[in-house]
Structure 1
Amino acid sequence: MRKSYDFSKARANPHSKRLKKQVTIRLDEETINYFKSLAEGVEIPYQTLINLYLRDCAQSGKRLRLEWSDETPEEGAA
């Protein structure tokens, strides 16, 4: 092993733009537990599973349909 290396002629990694970026996202505990249980079944980290799911949604152009209601739920109703 050399004492020093010369990186003056090195070039940037051409794939660096495709690397993952760390972000902070807030998920409810129920959602995290859901993906953790799925991840155990396929033996991959749950963060990877969430990324795969979100990537699939983005690539297939899935759109979330939100429907808001002005009605308040009755007490005790589920």
Structure 2
Amino acid sequence: MHPQLSEHKTPQCAELIQRLHACHQDKPVGKYFGRCNSVKSDLTLCLRKERQARTKTNRENARAKRAQVEKIWTDYEKNN
């Protein structure tokens, strides 16, 4: 299961999103029998890569912010 597909939120996967929507429109009944599974699998992999990159960036930012807070607390404790 993938999240709500928005091309503006995941521009690197926009082509795959369009291909999946086109497949669903071209094969309205076939989508229930696996006709679009290959496109959906490719989209899932693309979304996973995007999520992993976003997670890595957020983790790095959180660590940097945490280090900054620790430094502020250390400085505060030294002065008081």
Q: TM-score range by the shorter chain?
A: under 0.3
TM-score, normalised with respect to structure 1: 0.26
More helix by share: 2
